A and B are shown apart, each in its own frame.
Chain A
């Protein structure tokens, strides 16, 4: 058994490791050092992680709802593309299946809509 097909993979690993080592070791040397408050914060987007209000507090779930809704439609699109491409070959069975699938997605959508998931405030 020849290992030659694996040589490029090993080379890629070596290159990757070298790049990481190089970047990490060179950054403190050449980078400018101007510290301020923001730079010492934890790198987070969205909700401020600290300080927490007493008792855990409430935090907005709007972003989360939007993201969930996005994923629902994202998955729908992922299924729609290959279905559209081979629509002719799939025929009536494919159409019925896709209508059922979109139906279930819309049920979830209707639920989010009626429960106020689409209101920002």
Chain B
């Protein structure tokens, strides 16, 4: 069975690789803090597997999470100034490859659909893909297929090019890359501390009986405030 945890590990390994590449990056004034941030994040993705399985103490991960926020608060997360692709470089690429450049990008949604919808099959009596994680697994498989397609098509000079380019984007996103996850964490903390109950009680007192549908809507609104999806795209 293909498990979504495999892809969390891959994600964690990418973060760790980004961190390892950051330590020697002299163009980044905060290279030690930044490297520590990405390595911690990567390690937390792998350690998270054991937290979910309840085979490792969650508090250790809690410390790591607060440490990451601490690095950001202390202004220790910076980025390198290594140049992105220049205008001429991009124009040359567009001249050479034209609309074929869209192929790797469009591979992603196509493979997501194929995997999430088409591969929802059972082998013997076991499902091929972990239940309820089909689309996430689809995304992971799609990312791998797309990078292979892109690599074969574009033939970059170094095998490390995808990783370096991914690092450039990740550095540009910075702390915002973990903000959605942190918001989701806050949501769970609110539940543990009983914030939802308080909101419910507050509204129940304010609204007349029989207005429970309004309560549901109000709850929905209170959820949406921290269910903000993703960091804004930056470039």
Instruction: Say whether A and B bind each other.
Output: no
B interface with A by C-beta (< 8 Å) = none
- B-binding residues in A (CB < 8 A): none
